[in-house]
Amino acid sequence: MRSAKMLRRKLQWLVAIVVACTGVLATEIIAASYTDFVIARRNLTEVIAFCRVLNTATYLSAERGPSNGVMGIGVAPGSPVQGRLAEFRARSDAALAEIVAGATDGSRSEPAAALSPILAEVQRRLQSARAEIDRIAAMPPEQRDLKEIQRAIEGMFAVIDAMRPAFDWNIQRLTNTDPDLAGIAIAAHMLANLREDGGRLASQLMAPVAVGRPLQAKNIADSERTRGRLQEIWSVVGKPGALPGLKPKNIADIAAIEHQFFGEGFAIVDSVVSVGRHTGHYPMTAEQFTDRYVPKMKPLEILRRDFMDVTVERLASSKTQASVKLAIATTATFALFIVLLILMRRARSMVFEPLLLARHSIIELANDRPIARLSGKGGEGEMGRLFDAIDVLRQRLDERTLLMQHLERQAETDELTGLLNRRALELIGGAEDAAGSDKNACLILMDIDHFKQINDTHGHLVGDIVLKETARILRYSVRSSDLVARFGGEEFAVITPGDDLEAARALAERIRSNLARAPITFADGRELNVTASFGVAGANANPGWKGLIESADTELYRAKSAGRNRVCG
């Protein structure tokens, strides 16, 4: 029992170790999948936030177009361009409000609190620049001053300049989040600068055009520097493969930029500069300049938007793949645990428990203790065959036990009379002698009188009948607690446990009387009177089995000498 408990305890430890190892492995797999998912989600969140900043900067840059237009000398209060300006301002305000709200968005990998003062400064400059533009637009066209218009335009430049730290902060965030995003962030920033500088190129000429004055040296110099930056940026981002992830259809965007912006857009600027160097009589108003030039920058916006859309699409796909991988890893791990537990339970019920039962059964059989039938315990597999074999062993051992019991009975029973034989009597007497049992037990030895004469006269078959009838009379004459045995030949012995000598003599007399008064009748009708002599001895006066036999035998001899058919003792 103790060893079985130890085996069960070892099995429990084994199961615990297997489950623990599986748990550690599963945790590592899930942790790796979860880490990939968190990184993919964080990358997507940060890139989308950066896109909002870029879009806001684009809207603020685009707002300069109608802003420049309303300050022109050909635009009176209530002009349609003022409606466009209101629309552009609403769009800029909505985009700016969105990134201000996102500055404390908990979904980002780190709250963008550092953006708050930057955005506050952007809003302050924007309000100031708009106020100046509205003041100039409210003036009669003939009263609008070149320097004031120039300051208003530069005020809108200052709004974008205030946004640049936000660009830098987001680029740093992307680089810290995933170094692989650094190239994308820088490329997107360069595309945004391309759009901003493209707008500045015209805005730097807009003030003289708005009031019909010749270009000043500063206007021409600023325009030339901006043109140089544009060409420098384009030499980097306009190369094949410079923008990772672009689809083949986006090649058309690059060709459109070459043709529309660097070709037709620059030509419009050149036409204004060529006139403005000498006179203020431009071939177009500020509003017309804006309307003709702004569409040429559209491919710049399309390229930046497509590039960021492709990036967001790729990161969203990575996030989806990571989430699917995490879900698969979690589901597979859970399924693995379920399968493992099922296998462990089945192994316990179909392997370990049956083996313990088989072990216990074999030990019980080895110790000659009975066991229940095991057939069908192990199912139809190897375990079933093992229990079938144990059942066969049990049956063989049972048969052997029955055979041994039969042989023992044969060895201890007189075949003719069915009584115990002398060997059995000696074993019982010797066992009681060794155990020091009841000292009041008595031994009665009985010898059939003239048995040799019966054999010689009537034959051995009649002698056998006499022996069997004598044994029958003995059995019904004694008590159930008395032991009756054939001592040898025509001699019988009776052990009376717990009796004193007087009670034993009375029992012997009863046996003698029953035998003497009941003649033995044979099949042919003949009758034969049989008597016997008895010797009685008590254990209390004769210590030891051997002494008891000798004393009873002496008394038997005395009874035979005294004339037979009597009891002595």
Residue where one domain finishes, among candidates 380, 412, 444: 412
Please, which pLDDT band fits residue 381 given cuts at 50, 70 and 90? low
pLDDT the model gives residue 374: 63
Looking at beta carbons, which pairs linking 264-268 to residues 24 or more positions away fall under 8 Å? 264/296, 265/198, 265/293, 265/296, 265/297, 266/227, 268/202, 268/292, 268/293, 268/296
pLDDT the model gives residue 41: 87
Q: Are residues 325 and 456 in the same domain?
A: no
Burial of 487 (0-12, 13-18, 19+ CB in 10 A): buried
Model confidence at 96: pLDDT above 50? yes
Q: Is residue 544 part of a domain?
A: yes
In the chain, pLDDT over 90 holds for what percent of residues?
Answer: 35
pLDDT the model gives residue 376: 62
How many Å apart are CA 257 and CA 301, to the nearest integer? 10
Q: How is 105-132 classified by DSSP, letter by letter?
A: -TTSSS--TTHHHHHHHHHHHHHHHHHH
Alpha helices in 348-449 (DSSP H): 353-366, 382-412, 422-435
- Mean pLDDT of all residues in 60-64: 90
How many Å apart are CA 569 and CA 557, to the nearest integer? 11
How many Å apart are CA 162 and CA 18, to the nearest integer? 61
Residue 119 is encoded by which pair of tokens?
A: 């955005």
Model confidence at 293: pLDDT above 60? yes
How many Å apart are CA 263 and CA 77, to the nearest integer? 34
pLDDT the model gives residue 272: 93
Residue 446 pairs in a beta bridge with: 492, 534
Q: Are residues 395 and 522 in the same domain?
A: no
- Mean pLDDT of all residues in 269-287: 90
Q: Is residue 358 part of a domain?
A: no
Q: Are residues 300 and 437 in the same domain?
A: no
Q: Is residue 157 part of a domain?
A: yes
Q: Are residues 211 and 246 in the same domain?
A: yes
Residue 528 pairs in a beta bridge with: 520
- Mean pLDDT of all residues in 359-367: 72
Residue 348 burial (CB count, 10 A) = 16
Q: Are residues 375 and 393 in the same domain?
A: yes
Residue 35 burial (CB count, 10 A) = 12
Q: Are residues 134 and 85 in the same domain?
A: yes
Q: Are residues 248 and 380 in the same domain?
A: no
Least Cα distance to 429 among 566, 561, 539, 316 occurs for 539
- Mean pLDDT of all residues in 303-312: 86
Q: Are residues 395 and 429 in the same domain?
A: no
How many Å apart are CA 173 and CA 186, to the nearest integer? 12
Count how many Cα atoms sit within 13 Å of the Cα of residue 457 in the half-sphere of its side chain: 7
Which span out of 70-79, 297-306, 388-397 was modeled with the highest average pLDDT?
297-306
Q: Which amino acid is at 193?
A: N
- What CATH number should be reported for the domain holding residue 436? 3.30.70.270
Least Cα distance to 536 among 567, 561, 514 occurs for 567
Which span out of 269-273, 390-394, 519-523 was modeled with the highest average pLDDT?
269-273
- Mean pLDDT of all residues in 473-478: 93
Least Cα distance to 264 among 209, 205, 208, 202 occurs for 202
Query: Using alpha carbons only, what angle is made at residue 207 by residues 136 and 143, rounded to the nearest 5 degrees?
Result: 40
Model confidence at 436: pLDDT above 70? no
How many Å apart are CA 57 and CA 95, to the nearest integer? 9
Q: Are residues 14 and 73 in the same domain?
A: yes
pLDDT the model gives residue 542: 77
Residue where one domain finishes, among candidates 301, 329, 357: 329
Q: Are residues 112 and 160 in the same domain?
A: yes
Please, which pLDDT band fits residue 346 given cuts at 50, 70 and 90? confident
Q: Is residue 58 part of a domain?
A: yes
Model confidence at 515: pLDDT above 80? yes
Q: Is residue 463 part of a domain?
A: yes
Helix (H) or strand (E) holding 520: strand 520-521
How many Å apart are CA 340 and CA 15, to the nearest integer? 9
Residue where one domain finishes, among candidates 390, 412, 434: 412
pLDDT the model gives residue 114: 77
Say if strands 483-488 and 491-496 run parallel, antiparallel, or are unpaired: antiparallel
Q: Is residue 351 part of a domain?
A: no
| Mean pLDDT value across the chain | 84
Q: Is residue 148 part of a domain?
A: yes
How many Å apart are CA 307 and CA 304, to the nearest integer? 5
Render pLDDT for 168-218 as a digit per residue (tens, 0 to 9).
Answer: 888 888 888 888 888 888 888 988 999 999 999 999 998 898 888 999 999
Please, which pLDDT band fits residue 223 given cuts at 50, 70 and 90? very high
Q: Measured on CA atoms in the order 380, 382, 387, 390, is the torsion positive or negative?
A: positive
Which of 18-32, 290-304, 413-427 is predicted with the least confidence, judged by mean pLDDT? 18-32
Which of 109-113, 155-159, 504-508 is predicted with the least confidence, judged by mean pLDDT? 109-113
Q: Are residues 426 and 408 in the same domain?
A: no
Q: Which amino acid is at 168?
A: D
- For the chain, give the longest Cα–Cα distance: 182
Query: First vs last Cα of the chain: how many Å apart?
Result: 56
How many Å apart are CA 311 and CA 308, to the nearest integer? 5
Please, which pLDDT band fits residue 315 given cuts at 50, 70 and 90? confident
Q: Are residues 390 and 451 in the same domain?
A: no
How many Å apart are CA 227 and CA 52, to the nearest integer? 27
pLDDT the model gives residue 314: 87
pLDDT the model gives residue 73: 61
pLDDT the model gives residue 109: 47
How many Å apart are CA 283 and CA 331, to the nearest integer? 71
pLDDT the model gives residue 253: 75
SS3 19: helix
- Mean pLDDT of all residues in 432-438: 61
pLDDT the model gives residue 402: 67
Which span out of 5-14, 122-131, 352-361 was modeled with the highest average pLDDT?
122-131
Model confidence at 351: pLDDT above 90? no
Tally of domains within the chain: 3
How many Å apart are CA 273 and CA 265, to the nearest integer? 13
Please, which pLDDT band fits residue 379 given cuts at 50, 70 and 90? low
Q: Is residue 338 part of a domain?
A: no
What domain range is 508 assigned to? 422-568
Render pLDDT for 382-406 as a digit per residue (tens, 0 to 9).
Answer: 766 766 677 777 777 766 666 566 5
